[in-house]
Structure 1
Amino acid sequence: MTSEIEMAFAHPSARSEAMSPDVLDRISVRDHVVHVEIGAFQAERGTTQRVRFNVVVEVYPLADDAADDVDRILSYDCVTEAITAQLADGRLNLLETLAENIADQILVQPQAARVFVRIEKLDRGPGNLGVEIMRSRADAGQIGTALTVQPIVMFVPFGTMHNSDLGAWLDHFDVSQTPVILVTEAAPDQSPQCGDTLLQRRIDLLSIDQSACVLAAYDPRIQVVGSLTELDWGLKNHQISVWAPSKIVADVIEGAPERITDPMDMVQWFAKRLTASAVWGLGTPQQSDGAYEVNWLTEPPTDH
């Protein structure tokens, strides 16, 4: 009988076979190596490393003869496309998250019963560093970071943080439980300058993070949030959040905002990414090019 230790270090296909109470067909993609930017360490940002994927999918048998028809079976392309799609969706810190997302996408396929995903970093140590997960159809659909509520995105310029109108609008949001996420900008002339483009982009994002903390200090109802999961939780729990952009923007591989220092570009990009219901701005109207027309709030609300 195969030991648990042997199974722990066996290929996912061996684990799949040993763990199956019933014999199911399997398809696999083995030793699929891709250059990926991933990792939580600063040294892993701005560079790629080799990552190896091994995926085994247990599939339910078709009701009748597949008649050698590729359109009726779960193909290898389903696996490789899941890997490609999840790598393109945004930069991740953890292999665990990437494995979960790949498994979740594969399990959407009607024929998929269970999936084993092993991912290994090949360049981060003397050996291979990796994770392996197993997910079944019962687990599908429980992973994701899409917002459950389409909020109002409200731009609060740095100079209006102390404005009494902001307090009146916060009262309005609090009483009406209007889903809202505040966005601010870096303090004028406060971002240090350097000659490295990648580092300067990081500095500019962190400067906006600092402003978000300053804004939150004006009112205890405002909570600083930096991830989609936090944003979603805040919306579902009627929390007034202010966006600290460094994590979300730094993690985006394709389609990231180009002009970090243009606050209205950041607002438009963020609103589009969240599929916001509307975009508001506090104070003097500013020029804004994008999909959303900005509703500039020059007077406090009259409903409280």
Structure 2
Amino acid sequence: MFNEEFKKKDLENLAAKRKENEDYILVRDYIREIDIGAFQSEYGVKQRVSFNVILEVNSNNYEMHDDVDRVLSYDNIIEIIEDEINQKRVALLETLAEQIALSCLCLQSVITATVRIEKLDRGIGKLGVQISRTQAQMQRVQRNINALNSGNLVIRTRVPNAGLLFISNWMLRSENIYTLENFFSSSKMTWIMCLPEIFNKFSEMDSVTHTEILTMAIAQNAYRLSKKFKDWQLARNKTEVVFLLKEGVNCIWCPTDNYKFSKEDMFLNNKFALNMACHLTKELLMKEIYLFEQDKLSDVLTKDINKKGVIVKYCSR
């Protein structure tokens, strides 16, 4: 059984695990209704299917840390399951399990992928398959998987109907808060709101040598705004942003010093916050960054941003 296999790996081989620095991440009892099966009676009929996945990960590739963006996320596994079941229909559970396992092996540091898939509505009990695939087997398989692997969180697809809005301190003045609230209440999109440094004088600091200070200044601004937008959630890392946007929850970007943003990512002179917002836009696989017309950028800045593959769009208040 799946539970027994996990217990065996996690308990009986504990000493070996410590020696080899192998960890496990798992998703259990993820249930979806899908069209699958080889019998004629199963075609065109959705049935409940349960997914269980265990990934064995080599932790040697990571130093000890507490940064959620630098570990595999449960969302990585769920996105792979969703991607595969949204591909063309398959007849066999074995085929689907194979596709999921091979996709999981494309994630960084994954050594072994164990996948169990069960039909819940076919007769009495559960009917299913369980397979295990290793990285060595993966290397012998020619497979083209369209995935973005940046060394931390793997984002495979853009969150639909979501946008990133960069707002100036002028728009955050008390006389403009009502305008902001009115805009968001009438919008049908889910938003991640990115802010500048809490005081304009921070923008005079050198972006390369004062990255940590400028990051904290943005976070302070986020905390201040969250007191006014109490229904919005603070998002402190990329993983949290993706989760909230998928859930349809508006959020405010509140970066920490764990966020991977280096001087190599900065291409706008003396525009640290806008630079970070553009970087986050690309990491979220978004094509546009939104601003209010009152915050219109110069033609030079707009061209520089466009060169990085991000389109600048403006919203009316």
Q: Match for residue 8 of structure 1? A: 14
Q: Match for residue 283 of structure 2? A: 273
Q: Match for residue 177 of structure 1? A: 188
Structure 1: where are the runs of 5+ without partners? 16-31, 43-89, 120-131
The Cα of 1:98 is off from its aligned counterpart by 8.6
How has the CA–CA distance of structure 1 residues 158 and 7 changed in structure 2, closer, same or farther, with 3 Å as cutoff? same
Q: Match for residue 305 of structure 2? A: 290
Name the count of aligned residue pairs. Answer: 210
Structure 2: where are the runs of 5+ without partners? 1-7, 23-57, 81-96, 118-131, 133-144, 146-152
CA deviations on 1:28-52 (whole Å, 9 max, x unpaired) are xxxx997x6643279xxxxxxxxxx
How has the CA–CA distance of structure 1 residues 227 and 149 changed in structure 2, closer, same or farther, with 3 Å as cutoff? farther
Letter in 2 for 1:256: D
Q: 3-state SS of the aligned residue for 2:251? A: strand
The Cα of 1:210 is off from its aligned counterpart by 0.9
Q: Match for residue 48 of structure 1? A: none
Letter in 1 for 2:16: A
Normalised to the residue count of structure 1, the TM-score between the two structures is 0.51
Q: 3-state SS of the aligned residue for 2:164? A: strand
Preserved CA contact (<8 Å) 2:164 2:288? yes
Q: Match for residue 40 of structure 1? A: 65
CA deviations on 1:244-303 (whole Å, 9 max, x unpaired) are 23357x335796335695133223222222222532213231233213342344x52xxx
How has the CA–CA distance of structure 1 residues 108 and 259 changed in structure 2, closer, same or farther, with 3 Å as cutoff? farther
Q: 3-state SS of the aligned residue for 2:252? A: strand
CA deviations on 1:182-221 (whole Å, 9 max, x unpaired) are 1111121248979x93xx2112111111111122222223
Taking only the aligned residue pairs, the percentage that are identical comes to 14
Taking the TM superposition and a 5 Å limit, the aligned residue runs for 1:200-239 are 200-239=210-249
Q: Cα RMSD (Å) of the superposition?
A: 5.1
Structure possessing the higher relative contact order (Cα contacts under 8 Å, 6 or more residues apart):
1
CA deviations on 1:19-73 (whole Å, 9 max, x unpaired) are xxxxxxxxxxxxx997x6643279xxxxxxxxxxxxxxxxxxxxxxxxxxxxxxx
Preserved CA contact (<8 Å) 2:101 2:113? no
Letter in 2 for 1:211: N
Q: 3-state SS of the aligned residue for 2:213? A: helix
Q: 3-state SS of the aligned residue for 1:158? A: coil
Alpha-carbon separation, structure 2, partners of 1:178 and 1:252: 27
